[in-house]
Amino acid sequence: MKNNLSGKVAYITGGSKGIGYGIAKVLLEKGMKVAISSRSAEAAKQAAASLTIDSNMVLALGSDVTSMDSETKAVKAVINHFGQLDVLVANAGVGHFAPIESITEEEWKTTIDTNLTGVFHSVKASIEQLKASKGYIITIASLAGTNFFENGAAYNASKFGLVGFTQAIMLDLRKYGIKVSTIMPGSVATYFNNHIPGDADAWKIQPEDIGQMVADLLQMNPRTLPSKIEVRPSMPGK
């Protein structure tokens, strides 16, 4: 039994490019309505316009996940526009990579506040609406949430924390009929950390691949919950 996604509403943080944009594109193709947020309202508007010209299907929001107030307002805007919220995709993230002796306190705080506390804010702002819809929370973590690496102190800490947070709230929320999963991608062809995707990234996971995974999770028989999903390129980089 597949869940019908048509008419359901997803809020995707960090949805103006990369993985978030890829997820929005696939969910729209499945008949869902999507709200995408970015720290830049203009970037969100441009992304929304490139996804569809139908304002009944997409909503662009400027929101900073590091602010609880900002995320609360974003979720209220989603409800005011679409009337419901069925899916939260907590995708917004940043990366600062440096040895522990040189990474700054500001870089540490930005990484933790966005990648971990930011997800807390998005989830807290959405819980009551997701209880009403018996909805789904999907966090976009990373293989860096289980594999540590040199120069990764801040990023590893944020993603290890996010994986643990997601698994804990999965247990907190399933009694309300809310499903919670974390997707942990390896190398993805995105603009992350100022990278510009190109032909050399063809071997990597593509954003739309993550979008398809999200759609598959949402369409899975409701008795089954894949709560922690690692995904990596099928072949090593060239």
Q: Of the listed 8, 33, 45, 159, which one is catalytic?
A: 159
155 annotated active-site: yes
Q: Of the listed 21, 155, 179, 204, which one is catalytic?
A: 155
DSSP structure string for the chain: -PPP-TT-EEEETT-SSHHHHHHHHHHHHTT-EEEEEESSHHHHHHHHHHH-S-TTTEEEEE--TT-HHHHHHHHHHHHHHHS---EEEE---------TTT--HHHHHHHHIIIIIHHHHHHHHHHHHHHHHT-EEEEE--GGGT---TT-HHHHHHHHHHHHHHHHHHHHHGGGT-EEEEEEE-SB-S-GGG----GGGTTSBPHHHHHHHHHHHHHS-TT----EEEE--SS---
228 annotated active-site: no
List the catalytic residues: 155, 159
